[in-house]
Every structure is written in C-alpha cells, then in structure tokens.
C-alpha cells in the first residue's frame, strides 16, 4: 500500500462501517497492537505467531459470532428512519464513533447536527467524559483547550479566521500524536460537503475537517421516514408532558405530504404546539 499503512486503512474503514476488522501483520509489537485496538480493530494477529487453522478460526469468530453493536440500537432510537439513506447514515456514525479522529457533521438547519454530534460523543471514544460546545459567536474568545474529553465546534463556517487557524493547528498537532491524550474534535457546518464554501470567514478549518465528514439528509429527501420520525417525536413529547399521545392516520398522511423546509426541527415544533394545545 504505497499511500498508507494498515492502521490508516483501519481508520478509513472504521469511518465507513463497523464491519469486523482483523489486523494481520508481520510487525507484531505491543505498541502496534495497542494502536490497532484504539483505532477500532476487533483483533490483532502477528503472522509469525499463528497457524492457518487458528487464523481461520479467528476470522470465523469475527464474522460469525460478533453480536450486533449496541450502538446501532441507540442510534436507531436517536435517529429514526428505515430508508436506505437513514440506515447508511447510522452505519457511518457507528463506524466513526469509536475513532479518535475529528469528525465534521454537515447538514441544513434542523436536520439534527447536534443530535449526530452528541451520538458520536456518547457512543464513541470520548463518551466517558464531558462534551464542551463552542459556538461561532464565542469562538474567538475561547481559543484555549478546555478540560474535557471532546470539543464540539458548532458552525465552523462562521468561525473567525483567527479561531479557524487556532483549531486547525490543534487538529494538526493532535494528528502528530495519533489523536491520543487530547480532547476529540467534533464539528458541524450548514454547508454541504460538496458545496462551494463561503469565504466570509475563511475555509481553513473546514478544509481540514473534510477528511472525516458526514452529511445529514434533509427531511424532504427521506419522505418515507416522515411518518416514523413523527411518531417517535410524538412519543417523546407525550412522555415529557405525561400524556399518552398518538398520531391519527389522517395526521400522519398530512405530515408526510408537507415539504418541511425547516426539516425535523420544524416538524418537532409543530407537533409540540399541537400536543400543548
């Protein structure tokens, strides 16, 4: 592999899926094994320490006996939907969560960027500690590394140039240490991954974060999921107000026919007002 090694390939694989991965290598050091497990490997095998039968047995255990990740069930609760788009989104989030690498979550307002970032933190490598949010309005005043396990840079396309340079340097420095021992960086942006970025505040940080980026779908692009999403929201809102609330078939049909320019946030606000009154 001329452009990366096995650990880098593992990290790239984990950014796409949580498929079982066994690192099989001729360089079987303790440090190498520790790095592989921190990047999300299911097993680490040194070629000079295992025979073919044992290797086959290891593979069989990995592909046949691995239980379904609990992250999938929790993600299905947080990000509802049965369309292939939503299933793929949850697969990618499950793959990205265990990594230490920075992740950029892109999506229109109301698509659930905060929910996705919180899931990456809670279900991932930083989940045992706290998540500190830094918004664009306070980015220039908070150019220090807080005492936490993860930092959420919210709306990086609006960060001033000085703040973008500061956090870009921090990410580069962390990469030099294989992202070990430092708070993980999670970020969000309203700009689509393939869109021409706004130059009003610079693009340095966004360009750096695009290596591990994920884009959330608009509600209008997953119209088949509007019904299930609405029912999940109604159930949560009903629990909050202490009442048993259900959508009628007519209400569900009506909601599915709307365009929802404000995405899931707009849908949630409408349902909240409906339940309140």
The mean pLDDT of 59-74, rounded to a whole number, is 72
Residue 101, token pair as written in the block: 């690498």
- Widest pairwise Cα distance in the chain: 70
The answer to whether 96 and 212 are in contact (CB under 8 A) is yes
Which pLDDT belongs to residue 61? 79
- CA angle in degrees (0–180, nearest 5) for 215-221-226: 110
Q: The whole model's pTM is what?
A: 0.76
**Nearest by Cα to 81 from 112, 43, 45, 46:** 112
What DSSP assignment string belongs to 61-75?
A: HHHHSPPPPHHHHHH
Mean residue pLDDT of the chain comes to 88
Long-range contacts, stretch 170-178, CB < 8 angstroms, 24+ apart: 170/145, 171/102, 171/205, 171/208, 171/209, 172/208, 174/102, 178/35, 178/38, 178/100
Over 70: is that where the pLDDT of 245 sits? yes
Query: What's the pLDDT tens digit per position in 199-239?
Result: 666 688 988 999 899 999 999 999 999 999 999 999 999 88
Which pLDDT belongs to residue 115? 96
The mean pLDDT of 85-104, rounded to a whole number, is 91
> Where residue 186 falls among pLDDT bands split at 50, 70, 90?
very high
Which pLDDT belongs to residue 189? 95
Question: In whole angstroms, what is the distance from residue 183 CA to residue 42 CA?
Answer: 24
Which pLDDT belongs to residue 57? 80
């Amino acid at each position: 592999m001329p452009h990366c090694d096995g650990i880098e390939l593992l990290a790239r694989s984990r950014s796409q899926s949580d498929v079982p991965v066994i690192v099989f290598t001729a360089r079987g050091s303790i440090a190498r094994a520790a790095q592989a497990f921190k990047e999300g490997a299911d097993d680490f095998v040194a070629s000079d320490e295992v025979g073919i039968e044992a290797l086959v047995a290891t593979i069989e255990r990995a592909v046949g006996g691995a239980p379904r990740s609990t992250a999938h069930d929790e993600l299905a609760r947080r990000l509802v939907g049965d369309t292939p788009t939503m299933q793929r989104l949850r697969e990618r989030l499950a793959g990205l969560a265990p990594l230490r690498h920075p992740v950029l979550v892109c999506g229109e307002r109301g698509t659930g960027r905060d929910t996705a970032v919180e899931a990456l933190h809670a279900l991932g490598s930083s989940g045992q500690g706290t998540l500190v949010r830094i918004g664009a309005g306070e980015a220039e005043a908070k150019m220090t590394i807080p005492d936490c396990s993860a930092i959420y840079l919210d709306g990086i396309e609006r960060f001033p140039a000085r703040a973008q340079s500061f956090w870009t340097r921090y990410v580069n420095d962390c990469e030099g240490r294989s992202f070990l021992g430092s708070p993980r960086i999670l970020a969000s942006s309203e700009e689509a991954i393939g869109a021409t970025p706004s130059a009003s505040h610079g693009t340095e940080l966004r360009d750096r974060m695009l290596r591990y980026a994920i884009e959330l779908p608009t509600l209008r692009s997953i119209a088949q999921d509007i019904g299930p999403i609405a029912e999940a929201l109604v159930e949560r809102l009903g629990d909050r107000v202490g009442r048993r609330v259900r959508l009628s078939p007519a209400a569900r049909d009506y909601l599915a026919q709307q365009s929802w320019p404000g995405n899931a946030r707009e849908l949630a606000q409408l349902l909240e007002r409906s339940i309140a009154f």
